Each structure stands twice: as structure tokens, then as C-alpha cells.
Amino acid sequence: MTQKYGFTTTILHSDRQKTIEHGAPHKPIHTSVTWGYGDARQLAEVFQGKQSGYRYGRQGNPTVAALEDKVTKMEGGLATICFASGMAAIGAVIQGLLREGDHVVSSAFLFGNTASMWQTYSGQGGKVTMVDATDVAQVEMALTPATRVVFVETIANPRTQVADLKRIGELCQARGILFVVDNTMTSPYLFQPRHVGAGLVINSLTKSIGGHGNALGGAVTDTGLFDWSRFPNILDVYKRNPQPQWGLAQMRAKSLRDFGASLGPEAAHHIAVGAETIALRMERSSASALAVAQMLEADPRVAAVYYPGLASHPQHALAADLFRSNGYLFSFELKQDIDCFDYLNRLKLGISGTHLGDNRTLVIAVAHTIFYEMGAECRAAMGISESLIRVSVGIEDTADLVEDFRQALQA
């Protein structure tokens, strides 16, 4: 498309910009793991990067490539690599770009599995400093000559802290440090991290992009903003590519080919179809999240509500400046005399489950499940109380959700 279209129009017609078999509006599911070439020299040229083509299913597939192109358009980026899950995408940054002795500055407000992954990296010879990323000064104080990456989430899961994204991006640009932003809690529709100088953007495709809870997937998008000549870990073999492609070229080999966390074509198709309605779903779930959060905040039986859309949130003004709206995720604490499990069991629409960005509203007692392994001391340091409930708001009718969360407080 040469004409500039809006977000949803672009995503809907993304596949049709390249030839699709039999005129289908979607890229079909290609299940083959190998591709044959009539000329043996052609296969060699594909392996050597002299011409485009598919080598083996672990490294690429036409269905997955169509999704990668769609995610690139969503993020306004240069190129994307898809992986088997969001965690595989984060792991790909470590596997493909970092070495022993490298230093990472990470937000301390992280999804539990991401925090665990940084612990694993530390045990393998890496160095990680966890800081309060809502304050750029703390990020700056943590930098060392060995710092290769600064990593943050846009909106933290589950306490919804908002990183000082713009100022961190400016800091990283000035110091020549790769700024990696996990955009899962906002999504490319609500926010594009390239606008704050991110070099790489992570998305868990499982969440709001896929939206239907029927496929795992993750993605790393290169925004084209980072100067890879300033990154010391790129091997000479990948410098044969144009300089803006160095990072993803190395990751496609070291993180996808060697590590093997490949996205399957069936999952890629589910995610690609789900992505077509992301704007509609995010607008509905964001509006409902705000309505439910406001109701809970006004109820004396609720101790605290954490949602960037509330004026009481510490980063409310920052979020309003950065994001189209504040997303589907919020969390809240009940007063001490209300058992969080009893409350959850009284909900009729909220499903007790560990997932995010689904069409259906999901609820979970955080300290007793996804953050249980961390231990009480670590949870306390992250501000996660024993009564904290995380809510991922779906696309149910707003009034029905407000009433459901209200009636569960009545007992």
C-alpha cells in the first residue's frame, strides 16, 4: 500500500500486499518444514544470504513471515522475528545479543517469569541491576561501562507502575545503549515504543494481539532506531548485512536457528487473524477497565486500586501523555477482613486463570500463584500484598462487569 492508512485498515490488508494463493484475504497455513529448490545453487545462495528464501521450518515459514510483517507494521518498525512465546522472545535477546560479563539495567517492576529469567542470566555470568524505572535518575546511576541493555515494561504487571519511558530512551540514545521495551501490557495499538527511542520492542503475541487465548507466540521488533555499530557483540559474519539489520540477523541465527523456540504456522495463523480486531478489543477493554477500577476505588471495602487511568495513580499524568488509553490490566487490594479467594469465587464473569489480554475477563490472586515462588520478602519489595488481585479485563459489556465486581463485594 502506497497510501497511508489507519492502524486497523493497514493490519486488515497487510497480507494482500503480497501475492496470496488463490486470492485468499489471509496468508494460508503452510505446514511444511522444508522447501525444495530446482537448482542446487539457488539453495546455497539462500543459505549464504545472497537471495531470499526459506531454508528450514525452524528458521522461517511463509505463514510466520506474514505475521512478522504484520507486527512490523503495527509497531512501525524495520523488521520482526516471531518466537514460540513471549518469554522466548525475551530470552532471544539474552541468547542472541548478550555475553558473559555484560551488564543489564532492568526495571524492578516485572512480570514474575521475566524477573526469574534475569536471575538465570545472572547465574550464567551476566550482571543485572534492578531499579525503579519510574525514575530515570535511578536508571542512570545504575549504568556502567559494561551496560549493554536497559530493559523495561511499559506498564508493569501486576502493580501497573509506568516506566519513565521517554527520558530513559533519551538517556540510552545519548549513551549508545540498546533500549528494550516490553510492550505487552499496552500493545502496539495503545503505544509504539519507537516514539520513545526503543531499539527493540517485545510483544507477547499470546496476549492482546492474538486476543482469543488460543495460541502462544512472541515477537521482537527492531524499530530501526538503534545504531548497531555501537553494539560490541555483533559477530563479523552478520555484519555482511546492511548495518540496520545486524541485530536481527544475529538473533535470527543465534536465538531462532540455534535456540529453536520457533513459532508454528498454525499458531501464527490464529494470532494473525486475532490481530485484525485488536483496536476494537483494546478500546472496549480499556473503557471497561477504567469503569470497574473507578467503582472499586470508590468502595470502602477496597483498600487500594492500581490503574494508570485513575487520577490517584502516581504515573497518571505520564500515562496520559504516552498512551492512547490505559489498557486492560489493573490490580486491587481488599480490606483485611475480606478473603481474596472468597471474593474471587463470588465473581460470576471473572474467570480464575493465569492469562492476560483475553476476550474474557480473567482474575488471579497474585501472591499465591504467579509470584508465589519469589517468596514473601521479594514480593514485599515489589509492593505485592497477600491480598492483591490482578484483573485482565475482557470485552464483556461494561455494565455487566461493573455489576459483577460490585456484587462480589456484598457478602
Give 109-164 pLDDT, tens digit per residue. Answer: 998 889 889 999 999 999 999 999 999 999 999 999 999 999 999 999 999 999 99
For residue 156, the Cα-to-chain-centroid distance in whole angstroms is 11
* H-helix or E-strand spanning residue 64: helix 62-75
pLDDT confidence of residue 215: 97
Instruction: Tell me: pLDDT of 58 over 70.
Output: yes
Please give the Cα distance from 56 to 46 (Å, whole number).
11
| Helical pair 112-123 and 86-97, crossing angle rounded to 10 deg | 20
CA 355, 361, 364, 366 torsion-angle sign: positive
Residue spans of beta strands (DSSP E) within 108-177: 127-131, 147-153
Residue spans of beta strands (DSSP E) within 84-168: 103-107, 127-131, 147-153
* H-helix or E-strand spanning residue 83: strand 79-83
Within 10 angstroms of residue 87's Cβ, the number of other Cβ atoms is 20
The answer to which of 44-53, 190-199, 211-220, 275-284 has the lowest mean pLDDT is: 44-53
Q: Give the tens place of pLDDT for each residue, 381-392.
A: 777 888 899 999
Cell numbers at residue 318, please? Answer: 505520564
pLDDT confidence of residue 69: 96
Query: Contact 69/80 with Cβ under 8 angstroms?
Result: yes
What single-letter DSSP state applies at residue 264? P
Higher-confidence residue of 250 and 27: namely 250
Instruction: Tell me: pLDDT of 1 over 70.
Output: no
| Upstream peptide bond of 244 is cis (omega within 30 degrees of 0) | no
Query: Contact 85/216 with Cβ under 8 angstroms?
Result: yes
For residue 345, the Cα-to-chain-centroid distance in whole angstroms is 29
Query: Contact 198/181 with Cβ under 8 angstroms?
Result: yes
For residue 355, the Cα-to-chain-centroid distance in whole angstroms is 13
Instruction: Tell me: pLDDT of 411 over 80.
Output: no
Please give the Cα distance from 145 to 354 (Å, whole number).
39
Please give the Cα distance from 52 to 59 (Å, whole number).
13
Q: Give the tens place of pLDDT for each residue, 310-322.
A: 999 999 999 999 9
Within 10 angstroms of residue 179's Cβ, the number of other Cβ atoms is 26
Within 136-257, residue ranges assigned H as helices are 136-142, 165-175, 187-190, 246-251
* H-helix or E-strand spanning residue 297: helix 278-297
Q: Give the tens place of pLDDT for each residue, 3-42.
A: 688 988 898 888 877 877 777 787 888 888 988 888 999 9
pLDDT band at 287 (very low <50, low <70, confident <90, very high): very high
Q: Which residues contact 9 (CB under 8 A, 6 or more apart)?
A: none
Please give the Cα distance from 274 to 208 (Å, whole number).
9
Query: Contact 88/81 with Cβ under 8 angstroms?
Result: no
- CA-based nearest residue to 246, from 237, 259, 258: 237
Amino acid at 26: H
**HSE, side-chain direction, 13 A CA sphere, residue 208:** 28
pLDDT confidence of residue 51: 84
Query: Contact 350/407 with Cβ under 8 angstroms?
Result: no
Kindly report the pTM of this predicted structure: 0.93
* pLDDT mean across residues, the chain: 93
